[in-house]
Chains A and B, each alone.
Chain A
Amino acid sequence: MKFINDFRDRELCETLLERIHKEAVREITIMEVCGGHTMALHRFGIPALLPNTITLLSGPGCPVCVTGRGFIDHAIGLSMRDQTMVCTYGDLIRVPGSESTLEKAQADGANVRIVYSPLQCIEMAAQDPETNHVFLGIGFETTAPASAVALQKANELGLKNFFLYSAHKIMPPAMAAIIHEGVKVDAYLCPGHVSTISGTKMYEPLVDQFGVGCVVSGFEPLDLLQSILMLVQQQENKNAAVEIQYTRAVKSQGNVKAQQILNQVFEPCDAWWRGLGILANSGLKPSANYKGFDASVVYGLSTNEPADPTGCRCGDVLKGLLKPTECKLFRKTCTPANPIGACMVSAEGACQSFFRYANS
């Protein structure tokens, strides 16, 4: 994007920082709920530049991190079946299940392929009708439309060997659950690319019910600083509202066409989130017309969630109750090279962000 240098312009960032320092008089706790924001904030060193009145917390914004071990266990199980290929985004390949990972299963001969789009999985399924192809649908409102288009395509082509194993989730129930859990959050830095699809109406109940400010932010330093300033101003003026900072990509109505496709293909379901447990209607599963493509139905996959390993505090990290550096495993037994918990595996996980960019 030709503006990238402008959105990283030092002088403009300093201008915003000056304003933040001047205006952030009252204490404010801001939670980001997007793994991309978590990584960008630490990568650009923003937490260290803010005044002491501002506390930044990472929330359940990384889809890989909130996905349970049971999902990985089932995915590994599917990949080891005869005549079955599991296709996944690269993000999931090293995430630990109860005993193994997709990467290890692949090394042991299981049929696991990394794809960058579910349409690649559709193409492979069409070319090889003898093999069942299961796509692992992971992610929030940003990736769910891609899975939805893939299901439409599979239906159109009459494929009998393509299935979606969905762990797709939607953000607002988790944002409400965080506050119900008693975590002190004054304001949400709302996810940028989720909002390109969903728009901003879905954040309004959070403002109305809990009085938290919501600003949809972009991912560059200027975006993040401007969003923080907007949230500070809302707090200082006691005027919590939903605002869009990331105006170049997010419209209040979102992407209406993508929403229509999502509504045609998916229906809400209860979903399990690491740290938050089962949240009603926070997941997406194929609707009745697409049931034949639903791997959890076709393969009868249970939704039991094995407990996280002893000592792993990813659940508390995802709720903003614990900083990654406060986990006893952090930097000792749990590192990106040998991750114990999902938040250390994911490039957008809070633990990996802290490991790579934050001072211990």
Chain B
Amino acid sequence: MCLSVPGKVISIENETALVDVGGTSISVGIQLLEEVSLGDYVLIHSGFALQLISEEDALAQLELVRAMKG
């Protein structure tokens, strides 16, 4: 019940977005998000997009760990 699936928004209609998850399209509610655009990555849980995923933060984090290798 804790796992969310990340997916990419491929279309938006009213309160619903079609999200691509590894090649499968899933229809999810976007009522919990202030803003969502085509191409955004979102976390999906129980039929809703919970939160946007930040590509910038993901890259920064990987960079931080790479820097530890020293």
**Residues of chain A having any CB pair with chain B under 8 Å:** 1, 3, 6-7, 11-12, 15-16, 19, 34-37, 61-64, 89, 91, 116-120, 138-140, 142-143, 145-146, 149, 191-194, 196-197, 219, 222, 226, 245, 247-250, 255-258, 261, 346, 348
Contact = CB atoms under 8 A, between A and B. Distances in A.
Contact of A247 (B31, B43, B57, B69): B57
B29 A1 contact: no
Contacts of B1: 35, 62-64, 89, 91, 138-140, 142-143, 346, 348
A227 to B, nearest CB: 11
B50 A196 contact: yes
14 contacts: A3-B58, A15-B68, A16-B68, A37-B2, A89-B1, A89-B46, A91-B1, A117-B46, A191-B2, A193-B3, A247-B54, A256-B34, A257-B32, A258-B32
Contacts of A34: 2
Contacts of A143: 1, 45-46
A140 B4 CA distance: 13
Contacts of B68: 15-16, 19
B33 interface: yes
Contacts of B59: 3
B29 A119 contact: yes
B57 A248 contact: yes
Interface string B20-49: 000000000101111000000101011110
A346 B2 CA distance: 11
A12 B32 CA distance: 34
Name which of B32, B33, B57, B60 has the most chain A CB atoms within 10 A of its CB: B32
B48 A145 contact: yes
Q: What 8 A-B pairs come out closest when comparing CB atoms? A: A117-B47, A36-B2, A1-B6, A146-B46, A248-B57, A248-B58, A196-B51, A247-B57
Consensus secondary structure, chain A interface: helix
A120 B4 contact: no
Contact of B54 (A36, A139, A248, A348): A248
B65 A139 contact: no
Given A196-B50, A257-B34, A146 B61 contact: no
A256 to B, nearest CB: 8
A12 B62 contact: yes
